Amino acid sequence: MASTEPRGPRQIWNALIWSLKGLRAAYRVEASFRLELYLCVVLLPLGLWLGHGPVEKVLLVLTPVLVLSAELLNSAVEAVVDKVSPEFHELAGRAKDMGSAAVFLLMLLVLLTWGLILGGRLLG
C-alpha cells in the first residue's frame, strides 16, 4: 500500500518542524538537556577556534553534539517508559539507566577527545 505522506520539499519541511518541536520540548522540560546545550554553546565555538586543522575541529565539535543527541534519545526513552509503565518495573528502570549510561559514556568521550587534543598540545 502506497504512503499518502507528502514527498519532496514538503516532507523535508515537516521533518524540520517536528525536529524543532522536539528540541523545544527537550529544552523546556529536560534540565540535563539545557545544561548540555549551554556547554555546547561554549564548546562548539571554542572547538572551532582551538582545533588545528579540520580533523581536530570536527572532533572537538562533534563530541559535544553527540552528547546532546544521546540526551535527546535518553529523554525519549524515559518519556515512553513513563507513559507505558508509570509504576516501577525492573526492566523500565534498566532501560532508563542504560540511556543515562549512553550519555555518560559520550561525556567521557568528550573529556577524552578534548584532553588528548588540547593536553597533547600542551605537553608536546
Instruction: State pLDDT tens for residues 20-73.
Output: 999 999 999 999 999 999 999 999 999 999 999 999 999 999 999 999 999 999
**What global pTM score does this model have?**
0.86
CATH architecture of 31-123: Orthogonal Bundle (1.10)
What is the residue-wise DSSP string for the chain? ----S--THHHHHHHHHHHHHHHHHHHHH-HHHHHHHHHHHHHHHHHHHH--HHHHHHHHHHHHHHHHHHHHHHHHHHHHHHHH--S--HHHHHHHHHHHHHHHHHHHHHHHHHIIIIIHHHH-
Q: Is 89 marked as a binding-site residue? A: yes
Does the active-site annotation cover 71? yes
Q: Is 78 marked as a binding-site residue? A: yes
pLDDT in tens, 88-115: 889 999 999 999 999 999 999 999 999 9
**Which position among 5, 36, 56, 71 bears the catalytic label?**
71
